[in-house]
C-alpha cells in the first residue's frame, strides 16, 4: 500500500511540473483503482469486525 501511495504521489508531482505521458496516465489510473480497492477491502474488514449489541446506551443527562 505504501509503495502504491508513493508512486501515485510521484506521478502527481510530475503531472503538475512536466505533465504525464499516456503510459503514465494509465499507470496512475490503475494505481488509483488498486488503492481504492485495497481501501474498501480494509474498511469492509473493519466494519465486519464490529460486534453489534442490542443493549441501549446509558441516558444522557438533560
Listed in sequence order, the DSSP H helices in 1-62 are: 2-17, 22-48
Q: Sketch out the chain's domains with CATH numbers.
A: 2-12+19-47 (1.10.287)
| Distance, C-alpha 18 to centroid of its chain | 26
| Distance, C-alpha 43 to centroid of its chain | 9
- The label of the residue with cell 485495497 reads 38
Q: What string of pLDDT tens digits covers the 62 residues of the chain?
A: 999 999 999 999 999 999 999 999 999 999 999 999 999 999 999 999 988 777 776 777 76
pLDDT value at residue 3: 96
Predicted TM-score (pTM) of the model is 0.73
Contact in structure between 18 and 48 (CB atoms under 8 Å): no
Amino acid at each position: 500500500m505504501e509503495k502504491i501511495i508513493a508512486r501515485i504521489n510521484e506521478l502527481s508531482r510530475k503531472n503538475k511540473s512536466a505533465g504525464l505521458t499516456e503510459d503514465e496516465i494509465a499507470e496512475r489510473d490503475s494505481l488509483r483503482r488498486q488503492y481504492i480497492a485495497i481501501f474498501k477491502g480494509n474498511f469492509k474488514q473493519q466494519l465486519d469486525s464490529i460486534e453489534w449489541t442490542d443493549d441501549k446506551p446509558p441516558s444522557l443527562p438533560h
